[in-house]
Amino acid sequence: MAKAWGGRFQQDTDPRVEAFTESISFDSRLFEVDVRGSKAHATMLAAVGLISSDERDQICHTLDEIKDEIAAGNFPFKAELEDIHMHIESALIQRVGDVGRKLHTGRSRNDQVSTDLKLYVRDAIDELDELLLNCQLAFLERCDKDAGVVLPGYTHLQRAQPVQAAHYWLAYCEKFHRDRDRLSDCRRRVNVSPLGAAALAGSSLPIDRQMTADLLGFDSVAGNSLDISSDRDYLAEFVFAMSLISAHLCTWCEEWIIWFTTEFGFIKLPDAYTTGSSIMPQKRNPDVLELIRGKSARVMASVPQLLILMKSLPMAYNRDLQEDKLAMFTAFDTVKACLELTPAIVAGAELQRDQIASRIEDGFLDATALMEYLIKKGVPMRTGHGTVGALVAKCENEKRRLKDLSLEELQAACDLISDDVYSVLGTENAMKALQSFGSGGEKPVADRVAHWKVVLAE
Ligand code: ARG
């Protein structure tokens, strides 16, 4: 096939090379942002007198037509036109001739690709922000639904201290909030215009980069054309932010997969989000949670993928960079699909209150509360730790609980104990005793629920 912009070549491109080098199979989804960028560029070209306002209107109108055809699926893509940028430009030229041949004045595909990617990522960030908010709201709504339920808190997956169930839900609100914060921070660096850096050195033409930046809603104009053509920092940051979202989703999935086992039996997942087994009739498997966890591999792999792509590239544009989109699109599509499913699973699950309550006194969840009771009586912390440890060992031997020990038995361990000790013993009391800011007790959790209701309503 003859080369698209092949004035200086004598040989046609080997069709295998066309197939090998094309990016249209994965960058066609940039069509909308590509047209947005080109219209802003044409508007600027007219404003500085490089094209007429008639030409601008013709270009913009035809670009919209092309965009609509692509959106409607009526636009043929072919590998020899390499990428979305060349497809749109050559369709424009086909339709308006020489006028179309002026659009690429003062720019190159190198700054065009980056402009498109930044516009795409900016929209993607806004979409993820909304999806994360929905996840936060789903967890927040569970707080009222599960008010009063006490769960064991774990470290090392060993029973540790009791917390309100809502404390777990709000932990995810916090994680997703940092994710949103990280995305919005990344967005600031995304939102700097590359357009007009041209191939690598800028242009001798009187282009107005500030104007295109303003038209496209960029906050500012990037200051070094060499840097611009090679910069993919914003993609690396974006995929990292998405990887942490995935990590947070994995924590949730992992926890609920464990809670959904017969051994735990803390939670029942909605039928719509579990699957059966082809051979074992009794099975209900948490496949969706497992796949959110499993698909996180693709998201996280995008971080090293991009860094490896970027390392060892000299300035400025190198064709390697074409591969950047694959990493980012895969990560984005995956995270988006996961976040879209999450709220429904969160809302539809049921805590198995009876099952939780039947074993909530197991595991000495009140041991730390007893130690802190001793501290309040004036016992040094390490001494109290030892005293309670010995009481726990005694209970373990005798198959009893701390709250079942008599006052005499407790006083034998420490004579500062009086009968107010029973107000901290037992799981419910131990949970209620927690009162520091951010802790899992009744009052601090209620305060945080109120806090999140205000924050998420904004
Ligand atoms: N298809 C290429 C990409 O996506 C376009 C960049 C072309 N620039 C170049 N100098 N060949 O990165």
Q: What spacing in Å lies between the alpha carbon of 214 and ligand 1's midpoint?
A: 25
Residues 164-179 pLDDT 10s: 999 999 999 999 999 9
| pLDDT at res. 2 | 62
172 Cα: distance to centroid of ligand 1 (angstroms): 40
Q: Which of 83, 232, 318 to mutate to test the pocket of ligand 1 (most atoms within 8 A of CB)?
A: 83
Contact 422, 402 (CB under 8 A): no
Cα Rg, the chain, nearest whole Å? 30
pLDDT at residue 94 above 70?
Answer: yes
Collapsed DSSP state (helix, strand, coil) of residue 14 = coil
Q: What is the pLDDT of residue 6?
A: 67
Question: pLDDT class for 277, splitting at 50, 70, 90?
Answer: confident
Indicate the burial class of 113 (C-beta count within 10 angstroms; 0-12, 13-18, 19 or more). Answer: buried
Helix axes 84-96, 109-145, angle to 10 degrees: 120
Q: 140 is written with which tokens?
A: 């927040």
The percentage of the chain sitting over the pLDDT mark of 90, rounded to a whole number, equals 94
Which residues sit with their C-beta closer than 6 Å to ligand 1? 23, 27, 82-83, 109-110, 113, 317, 319, 321-322
Segment 290-306 mean pLDDT: 98
- The residue-averaged pLDDT of 3-30 equals 89
Ligand 1 pocket: which of 113, 309, 325 to mutate (most atoms <8 Å of CB)? 113
Q: Where are the domains of the chain?
A: 15-105, 110-148+164-206+217-352, 367-457
- Write the pLDDT tens digit of every residue in 187-208: 999 999 999 999 999 999 999 9
Pick one of 3.40.640.10, 1.20.200.10, 3.40.50.720, 3.40.50.2000 as the CATH number of 110-148+164-206+217-352. 1.20.200.10
- The residue nearest atom 4 of ligand 1, judged by CA position, is 322
Closest C-alpha to ligand 1, atom 2 = 322
Q: Is 123 helix (H, G, I), strand (E, B) or coil?
A: helix
Q: What is the pLDDT of residues 138-155, one digit of tens each?
A: 999 999 999 999 999 999
pLDDT band for position 284 (50/70/90)? Answer: confident
Q: How far apart are CA 333 and CA 315, in angstroms?
A: 30
Residue with tokens 């039947």, as numbered in its chain: 358
Catalytic residue among 53, 184, 220, 277: 277
pLDDT: is 5 or 91 the higher one?
Answer: 91
Our answer to whether residue 296 is catalytic in this structure is no
The yes-or-no verdict on residue 279 having pLDDT over 90 is: no
pLDDT tier at 52, thresholds 50, 70, 90: very high
Nearest Cα neighbor of 289 from 268, 262, 318 is: 268
Half-sphere exposure of 346 (CA within 13 A, CB side): 26
Confidence check: pLDDT of 448 > 80: yes
- Looking at residue 181, its pLDDT comes to 98
Decide if pLDDT at 5 tops 80.
no
Report pLDDT for 281: 85
Nearest ligand 1 atom, CA 82: 1
Distance 222 CA to ligand 1 centre (A): 20
Q: What is the pLDDT of residues 208-231, one digit of tens each?
A: 999 999 999 999 999 999 999 999
The percent of residues above 70 in pLDDT, for the chain, comes to: 99
CB distance 58 to 96 below 8 Å? yes
CA of 379 to the centre of ligand 1 (A): 71
Check residue 262 and give its pLDDT. Answer: 96
Residues contacting 311, CB < 8 A, separation 6+: none
130's CB contacts (< 8 A; 6+ apart) are none
Q: Kindly report the protein residue whose alpha carbon is nearest to atom 1 of ligand 1.
A: 83
pLDDT digits (tens, 9 = 90+) for 334-385: 999 999 999 999 999 999 999 999 999 999 999 999 999 999 999 999 999 9
307-341 pLDDT tens trace: 999 999 999 999 999 999 999 999 999 999 999 99
Distance 88 CA to ligand 1 centre (A): 14
DSSP for 102-115 reads: GTTTT--HHHHHHH
Average pLDDT value for the chain: 97
Is 156 one of the annotated active-site residues of the chain? yes
pLDDT at residue 1 greater than cutoff 90: no
The third-level CATH classification (topology) of the domain covering 367-457 is Ribonucleotide Reductase Protein R1; domain 1 (1.10.40)
Question: CATH code for 15-105?
Answer: 1.10.275.10
